[in-house]
Structure 1
Amino acid sequence: MTERPHLAVIGAGPAGLAATLAAARHGLRVTLIDAAPEAGGQFHRQPATAAGARRPRTPHHGRRAWERLRAGLDRHLAAGHVTHLRDHHVWFVQRRPDGFTAHALLGPEQERPVEVRADGVLLATGGYEKVLPFPGWTLPGVVAAGGAQAMLKGGLVLPGRTVVVAGTGPLLLPVATGLAAAGDRVAALVESADPRALVRRPPPLAAHPAKLAEAARYAAGLLRHRVRTLARHTVVEAHGDERLTAVTVAALDAAGQVRPDTRRRIDCDTLAVGHGMLPHTDLAQGLGCRVDGVAVHADDEQRTDVPGVWAAGETTGIGGAALALAEGHIAGRSAAARLSGAVPEPLGWAAAAGRRAGLRRFAAALDGIYAPPAHWAELVTDGTVVCRCEEVTGGAVRRAVTELGAGDVRTVKLLTRAGMGWCQGRMCGTAVAGLAGCPETAARGPFARPVPLGVLARAGHDEERRDDHPEDQDAHPDERYDAQ
């Protein structure tokens, strides 16, 4: 088993699981590294073991696909083809002359360093939510739409009693219906997109009737639970002193501007808001992979431009679980062939490539429909906090441009500290770019997550020790997985 080429797959969502199964099935030894306690990612998130639910009454998408992935993973784990490292938070992937080392922190406290050495790396790190600021968005009770869904799926917890779901994107439908089915009172679903735009893009949408049927089921669920849907509307302000008590919504005109005299107030204790997704690119950028806009570039085999590194799923562009499965299968097959020294046979993934092409067209059509309102930045007042970590306001960002001459996001960051905090611009980067009138780019930092200084110091010390004393390279077998 140890003579097989070793692939490290980072991320155990649909793309990572599909890649793991394909690579293991075609001869690779795979270490699947994931930050969650169980495989599945956000899409197939399972209830936490501590919740003790035998049959939780919460919506889980693609249950049959999940069961197939879970069964396949269990088979390869039992056969010793795959090692699954749970609760491992990868913060950096290091290129070495003989391969790669994934540096991770183990456990919920993320204190114990772990190294995984491999011949190749497959990045399936998924995406994260984009939330645009507005007055009051920092109040307790305002949560990301995906965060509300994670609370429901993973913790079997309702985020509040009376919820408004708002923003734009396909995610809002399952969030609203899931919360309503679990017992929340969903006061309104506020969608800034125009549903009539679906009719104007029939070819790519009609090619996927299953997805249209899924949307119809969500719509029926909203009707069944009497959820009011406000299309072409947006949240303009959240109200409350110590926590959220209400939101004000308003209608949008065809240009995406708030229509006069359309504002209305909706009482609620929770606002679940989201404006789409952004790819996680931190590890790819740390490796030097090419990033086009906000997504990692990958070729027809899902290879990046760094030899030995593949990428699949949302990290190469937001497209949903079905697309992630297709890309993961192709990436796993390609990695198995390339790391074994063989020439990949495209016919082996022809069906997946066909699905990938169609699903990418479908995702592009949805991107055109579910774009945030064109004039969202006009709702951000000078006193609205844009960067929560550093408490930088919209006014500070605007002054950096108009008074200090900043012409790009990096200069705004240097002048205002926006993006210098804990999240390193992952949360505020889109808002800062929009307010500054700059193109949106992927947030970039030296590491994928905050790392204790002690871990960095120890990592450097261990590297020096291994270089000076190669006979001691296996001194910490509990913390290294290159020989499993």
Structure 2
Amino acid sequence: MPDSPSEQPSEQRHATPYDLAVIGAGAAGLAGAVAADRLGLRVALLDSSGEVGGQFYRHPAPALGAARPEALHHDWKAFAGLRRGLADSGVVHLAGHHVWTVARDGELWAAHAVTGADGDGERPVCVRARTVLFATGASERHLPFPGWTLPGVVGAGGAQAMLKSGLALPGRRIVVAGSGPLLPAVAASLAAAGARVPAVVEASGYLGYARSPAALAANPRKLAEAAAYGAALLRHRVPLRTRSAVTEVHGRDQVEGVTVCRVDRDWRPLPHTADRIACDALAVGHGLVPQIELATGIGCATRRTDDGAHALALDALQETSVRGLWAAGETGGVGGAPLARVEGELAGIAVAARVRGREALVRGSHARALRRRRDRMRAFATAMARAHAPGPGWTAWLDDATDVCRCEEVTAGTVREAVRDYGARDARSVKLLTRAGMGWCQGRICGAAVACLASPTGQEGGGQPALPPSPERRPLAVPVTLAALAALPPPNDRSHPSGHTPQKGPS
């Protein structure tokens, strides 16, 4: 694999456009990049992290001296194979590159990025390619409740990331709550690392999976995984409470306990069922939401998933509605690392078939087998989304003093006032009236909650929270400095081989 980007001048690395720019170095991005490279394409792999693996395969920095990092992961062998494939390939890995927009540049695509651990490096970078593969993964869905801003409340995925990459725990006595298949995995990892887990609190039940018997039968490995996590919870004596939710967190300066209530099928708290559990941390997550801002910013069509999120609409070969742009993994709907690897490899083959004019590649036996595996696992992902979809009654958890937008300190009462008194009927109008979603995270944390509170009915067909018909199109997918914007060249400027004249931003 070529040397790190910091050791190569921008002129050398980007003088010639790539055949494929892969954005995201998780399971899907690695599989897609390696597959395309093996078929003769010149590939650039851009990722904001300094290490490959994405959110799922986070691992400790070498300085921490972890003796067995694989012990913290499921299916580490598959990741190790992808990492070896990348090391043996000609893929140019651009670590620490935060892509903030993708735009047309004549017949090419231009991926604009800023460098550095937090995107605060001194130089903007433009990578041009004939095609792009979006493998940007997903983020946690956050639903607010009283006390959720107290120190000690972390995302369920965040707690797992702390353990995987930092070998740290958010507390010693940790309640795990929310909804989705991630919860048992997080609880088992925390308990194995020495934490006390008083309860796993699941707002949905697991009987919803029974409505998809064909998907269950076609994915026996998923059933085996569920059984393994169940056995781990039993071994560590962690009780599982279904049809229940954490509706309030208690404490002055940090978490001291949580209130757990039984909920009905719409997630409305049932009266006289409140129970308080002592703890010093809460790991809470209500599923994952595809990160698709880069793709929707240039007009890629979306579809509504069964759990109320928006994912990219893709064809049978993972191509988006915009020719030349592909996507794989969670961008097309949350489904886990094995599905992401299959979709990434299929997308890499499809890109090679297009770029090299070798359509036989996508008609071959290997591509057909990948499509069958993809369809089988995608069916299970759909069943999973349906079983853990948030119920519209969760807004009953909120009193008017609960912060919904943490960045701008906008409360549920303020949002309700905008709806009741000023006629707001969607997240955008609420934002204009209250500033909810205008903070540093740009609505990524509060967006789903604001949309639900803004809905006139609180639900849309299928019992899902009402949301805008499509995600907002954002010209900037990540924060970017004015200096980086000022460094952009005029359209079709070829005065510099990398597409811009390198300039230093403010120190």
TM-score interval for Structure 1 and Structure 2 normalised by the shorter chain = over 0.9
> What's the secondary structure of 1:199's corresponding residue?
helix
Matched, 1:107 2:108: no
**Offset from partner CA, 1:269-308 (integer Å, 9 cap, x none):** 1100000011111110122211224111111111112221
- 1:96 maps to which of 105, 114, 127: 105
- 1:84 maps to which of 88, 93, 105: 93
C-alpha displacement of 1:218: 0.6
Q: State the partner residue of 1:482.
A: none
Q: State the partner residue of 2:301.
A: 290
Q: State the partner residue of 1:301.
A: 317
Q: How does 1:6-405 map to 2 (within 5 A)?
A: 6-56=19-69, 58-76=71-89, 81-110=90-119, 111=121, 112-293=123-304, 294-343=310-359, 344-347=361-364, 348-405=366-423
Question: 1:3–1:39: structure 2 CA closer, same or farther, 3 Å change rule?
Answer: same
C-alpha displacement of 1:58: 4.4
Contact 1:43 1:61 in 2 (8 A): no
Could you tell me how far apart the structure 2 residues matched to 1:389 and 1:202 are? 43
- 1:435 maps to which of 446, 449, 453: 453
- 1:413 maps to which of 422, 431, 435: 431
Question: Gaps (5+ residues) in structure 2?
Answer: 1-12, 305-309, 456-465
C-alpha displacement of 1:372: 2.0
Residue 197 of structure 2 aligns with an amino acid whose one-letter code is V
Contact 1:136 1:384 in 2 (8 A): yes
Residue 59 of structure 2 aligns with an amino acid whose one-letter code is Q
> What's the secondary structure of 1:122's corresponding residue?
strand
**Offset from partner CA, 1:339-397 (integer Å, 9 cap, x none):** 12333533341011001111111111111111223310111111111011111111111
C-alpha displacement of 1:33: 0.7
| 180-189 vs 253-262, greater mean Cα deviation | 253-262
Compute the TM-score of the two structures, normalised by the length of structure 1: 0.93
Could you tell me how far apart the structure 1 residues matched to 2:240 and 2:499 are? 61
**Offset from partner CA, 1:91-112 (integer Å, 9 cap, x none):** 1112110301111111114223
Q: CA RMSD in A?
A: 2.1
Could you tell me how far apart the structure 1 residues matched to 2:170 and 2:316 are? 41
**Offset from partner CA, 1:97-144 (integer Å, 9 cap, x none):** 030111111111422312211111110000100010111111111000
> What's the secondary structure of 2:49's corresponding residue?
coil
Contact 2:114 2:124 in 1 (8 A): yes
Could you tell me how far apart the structure 2 residues matched to 1:149 and 1:425 are? 23
> What's the secondary structure of 2:422's corresponding residue?
coil
Question: 1:313–1:353: structure 2 CA closer, same or farther, 3 Å change rule?
Answer: same
> What's the secondary structure of 1:435's corresponding residue?
helix
Could you tell me how far apart the structure 1 residues matched to 2:44 and 2:134 are? 12
> What's the secondary structure of 2:429's corresponding residue?
helix
C-alpha displacement of 1:442: 2.8
**Offset from partner CA, 1:316-351 (integer Å, 9 cap, x none):** 111111211121111100111111233353334101
C-alpha displacement of 1:435: 0.9
Question: 1:186–1:88: structure 2 CA closer, same or farther, 3 Å change rule?
Answer: same
Contact 1:5 1:339 in 2 (8 A): no
Question: 1:58–1:164: structure 2 CA closer, same or farther, 3 Å change rule?
Answer: farther
**Offset from partner CA, 1:421-479 (integer Å, 9 cap, x none):** 111111111101111123254354221111111111122xx447x83xx4544697989
| 39-48 vs 130-139, greater mean Cα deviation | 39-48
Say how many residue pairs are matched: 470
Contact 1:101 1:116 in 2 (8 A): yes
C-alpha displacement of 1:257: 2.2
Could you tell me how far apart the structure 1 residues matched to 2:189 and 2:242 are? 19
Could you tell me how far apart the structure 2 residues matched to 1:285 and 1:456 are? 20
**Offset from partner CA, 1:144-185 (integer Å, 9 cap, x none):** 000000000011111111100000000111100000000111
Compute the TM-score of the two structures, normalised by the length of structure 2: 0.89
Contact 1:4 1:28 in 2 (8 A): no
C-alpha displacement of 1:4: 9.2
Q: Percent identity at matched positions?
A: 52
C-alpha displacement of 1:201: 3.1
Could you tell me how far apart the structure 1 residues matched to 2:324 and 2:130 are? 7
